[in-house]
A = this chain, B = another copy of it.
Amino acid sequence: MARAVMRPFLTDETSLRADAQRNRERILAAAEEVFLERGAGASLEDVAKRAGVGIGTLYRRFATREELLAATYSARFLALAESSRARDADIGPLDGLRAYLEELVRHTSVYRGLAATLGTVMQVGTPGCVATSEEGARLLRRAQEAGVIRPDISFNDLICVAVAISLAIEQDSSPQTRIAHLVGVFIDGMAVH
């Protein structure tokens, strides 16, 4: 139940001292590995250890677990927004939203335990989070303007849907087909009939 922490997110170009920048990257690489192996709740001291860095260094750079998760995800989320934008011309508004949701769920299911914190993670404000949020909002607006999605659906509803499906995927182990099935159900629910 971590509170959402809004603070300026430091990207690569920010004036970090060379050693700090190097350590930041080591921490991210280690976090990626450790989260993959043991889920989003893994020990941060393990991450620091694998990065060859003191725990204090990790905490100075990433004040909360959510910040670290979000940073680890930033590249992935950037790619998601990118690929969604890329297929925009070739796909209708409803299917665009469907594809976006399916991809979001797939990304969210990479680390066991990430789903439950997705809402918080999305608020941390990394470039990837921002890009993914904006893309989702854009797709939703587009579909609503095209008259295929109900006007009373909010972006929060989308995130909530993604969280739900990811959680479901985590619990039973019936992966890919179930993602499409559940996304289909929700898209139908949001559609104008």
Asked if B185 contacts A119 (CB within 8 A), the reply is no
Number of copies of this chain in the oligomer?
Answer: 2
Q: With A and B bound together, what is the CA distance between A156 and B109 in angstroms?
A: 18
Q: With A and B bound together, what is the CA distance between A153 and B188 in angstroms?
A: 13
Asked if B182 contacts A157 (CB within 8 A), the reply is yes
Asked if B190 contacts A185 (CB within 8 A), the reply is yes
Q: Name the distance in Å between A123's Cβ and chain B's nearest Cβ.
A: 9
Please provide the chain A residues from 157 to 193 with a CB less than 8 Å away from any CB of chain B in the complex.
157, 159-161, 163-165, 167-168, 171-172, 181-182, 185-191, 193
Is A1 part of the contact surface with B, judged by Cβ < 8 Å?
A: yes
Is A90 part of the contact surface with B, judged by Cβ < 8 Å?
A: no
Q: With A and B bound together, what is the CA distance between A40 and B123 in angstroms?
A: 23
With a CB–CB cut-off of 8 A, which chain B residues contact A112? 1
Given A165-B160, A171-B119, A193 and B188 contact (CB-CB distance below 8 Å): yes
Interface residues of A (CB under 8 A from B): 1, 39, 41, 112-113, 116, 119-120, 150, 152-153, 156-157, 159-161, 163-165, 167-168, 171-172, 181-182, 185-191, 193
Q: List 15 A-B contacts (CB under 8 A).
A: A1-B41, A116-B116, A119-B167, A119-B168, A156-B168, A156-B171, A160-B165, A160-B167, A161-B164, A164-B165, A186-B186, A186-B189, A188-B189, A188-B191, A188-B193
Extra contacts, 16 of them, besides A150-B185, A152-B181 (Cβ < 8 A), are: A1-B41, A119-B168, A156-B172, A157-B168, A157-B185, A159-B168, A160-B167, A160-B182, A163-B168, A164-B164, A164-B165, A164-B167, A185-B189, A188-B188, A188-B190, A188-B193
